[in-house]
Chains A and B, each alone.
Chain A
């Protein structure tokens, strides 16, 4: 079965090529079959490869396949080669299976769009690029996929390009992630110049042998790569593009800006975990970045009124959890949270897409309400997704994944309990508050807009499957004090360096779990009191100026856009205006005007008066003879 590995990224690529060249002339049904089918077949192939991977693990824990050469120099060579290990297989499964469900959903969601075929072409190209990113056996191919997904993200955010502000959002996403990409490219250049190879496994071996832990080079290299990861995964300080990226169609938000592409940074750090082990300071920085991001984005999510922006900030916040997990060395936990997050966040976005469609493109949750009875299927699935996001204890997958990360945070070397306190207590509280705020405001109370455009089967089936995964996905890895199940860890754990002090159990762990669970329930209760039962409580608060100021601050995403606008955009504008006013240009102009002046002066000699010419000839002759005689 390993022979079909190359088909997995090739199928969506073939779908893209078919659609982009012939899609315009295809009937909608054919375009949908090609678009959905190619990803569906890729998902099937992934399942087949995964099944044989589980039943007969390949030698060395990885399938390696080299397709064809790419660059071959005496000093450096790399190829189109794939290397599939447990980490990659996890990513591939999420990309193709969640991707397939979202494609299926899109085939109905986008059915009234004029450029239906183009949407599927972009989506297929995205899936293919993302698969190349995770399957690449060398960093150059990984970078190709990395840029491919960025490009598709740009295309799809600006898919409705007739709205100028959507195009602005697309450009913002592209430019901000580009800042990270430049940093990553520099990191790759440093790695190449140090080790003369881009093959990931070979690179990690040479780095472990050649670089002393904590020395300057690994710190710089990992910092540069972290810059790329931070840009792609929308972490501080480059998180500003993701909320605006919600301009794209909702399935795009679900697939690219929640489930897969934005976790590419997590994958990069996990893949290069051995490199980060050589730079402990940078690894601590990863944890701090994750912690700061998860708290700030959680705060921002509480004040949003646009359903999709709530989910966008929540995505930033949840990826913050993954970074926290990576930073404390609990790579398996971070990847587990990635998988679970992909399930419930895709679910939430798809459900939000149905809600927004049924409310006539209304995004503001405060103008919705009472959809519990109008859209029962969506209500129940959204509730499951929100519970998983809020990590409601024992029954949801989010609980198990978050608990694992928090347990890692508690155990982290320096300031572990502090990480746990801020990430665990505050983060969990914020998460359940904003997710259930969305649930209560959107689905309870009085219905304000009559529902229209009810979802059909192709939209409901993905919701139900993802809801099931959001619950059941958690049971493959349960803390040992509840039930000793660790299928995920035993599957993927071998890829990563051993987590420090990964001993489980004990009364401390139970205590931590109880506290976090209680906080998550308190968050739900607080959301209920503030936004449902005590509508008064929220409105009494809303009257005070301080509250309004704070809310405006949180609503703006904690002012990052404002700071960047003044620090970079405005200063650049000013500098451009200054320079446009002939500071540098003046020197160039001076050369030109000096030449013109000389020309005018010499032109005056051409007076047309023949006698002056004769004077010139005579003086020249005298000068020539004089020179001949006296010199």
Chain B
């Protein structure tokens, strides 16, 4: 059985997820971390849709709508956190927030 479109879409989703994860881990600027998290969320959404298409079921699309809602909520909370973070530290570098350690 030759690979179908949905299989390629799953691979793209995996690559996107890995890129997002790399961004979360490697970036120090908290705004970029937030953007990378959005990339990961969308990678997860793509994976659901392509899986739904592959299995011929609508559940994947339903899940994507949930993820979209979640992403919106996450963005609003995340951006609020970023503003508070900046007010507290006068920087956007995540590594400067290490007070629990000391």
Say whether A and B bind each other: yes
Chain B, Cβ-Cβ closest to A610: B94
Q: Does A611 contact B (CB under 8 A)?
A: yes
- How far is A608 from B97 in the complex, measured between Cα atoms in Å? 7
- Would you call B101 and A607 a contact (CB within 8 A)? yes
- Would you call A608 and B101 a contact (CB within 8 A)? yes
- Would you call A614 and B101 a contact (CB within 8 A)? no
- Would you call B25 and A611 a contact (CB within 8 A)? yes
Interface residues of A in 593-617 (CB under 8 A from B): 606-611, 614-615
Number of chain A interface residues as a range:
under 10
Q: Does A618 contact B (CB under 8 A)?
A: yes
- How far is A615 from B94 in the complex, measured between Cα atoms in Å? 14
Q: How far is the CB of B52 from chain A (nearest CB, A)?
A: 20
A-chain residues with CB within 8 Å of residue B101 when the two chains form the complex = 606-608
- How far is A341 from B59 in the complex, measured between Cα atoms in Å? 112
B-chain residues with CB within 8 Å of residue A614 when the two chains form the complex = 24-25
A-chain residues with CB within 8 Å of residue B26 when the two chains form the complex = 611
- Would you call A610 and B97 a contact (CB within 8 A)? yes
Q: How far is the CB of A78 from chain B (nearest CB, A)?
A: 69
Count of chain B residues near A, Cβ 8 A: 13
- Would you call A608 and B24 a contact (CB within 8 A)? no
Chain A, Cβ-Cβ closest to B21: A618
Partner of A608, one of B21, B25, B28, B99: B99
- How far is A610 from B34 in the complex, measured between Cα atoms in Å? 13
Chain B, Cβ-Cβ closest to A607: B101
B-chain residues with CB within 8 Å of residue A615 when the two chains form the complex = 25
The contact string, 1 if C-beta is below 8 Å from chain A, for chain B 63-87, is: 0000000000000000000000000
The contact string, 1 if C-beta is below 8 Å from chain B, for chain A 566-582, is: 00000000000000000
**A→B interface (CB under 8 Å):** 606-611, 614-615, 618
Q: A610-B97, A614-B24, A614-B25 are in contact. List 19 more A-B contacts (CB 8 A).
A: A606-B100, A606-B101, A607-B101, A608-B98, A608-B99, A608-B100, A608-B102, A609-B95, A609-B98, A610-B94, A610-B95, A611-B24, A611-B25, A611-B26, A611-B28, A611-B94, A611-B95, A618-B21, A618-B25
What are 21 of the A-B contact pairs (CB < 8 Å)? A606-B100, A606-B101, A607-B98, A607-B101, A608-B97, A608-B98, A608-B100, A608-B101, A608-B102, A609-B94, A609-B95, A609-B98, A610-B94, A610-B95, A610-B97, A611-B24, A611-B25, A611-B28, A611-B94, A611-B95, A614-B24
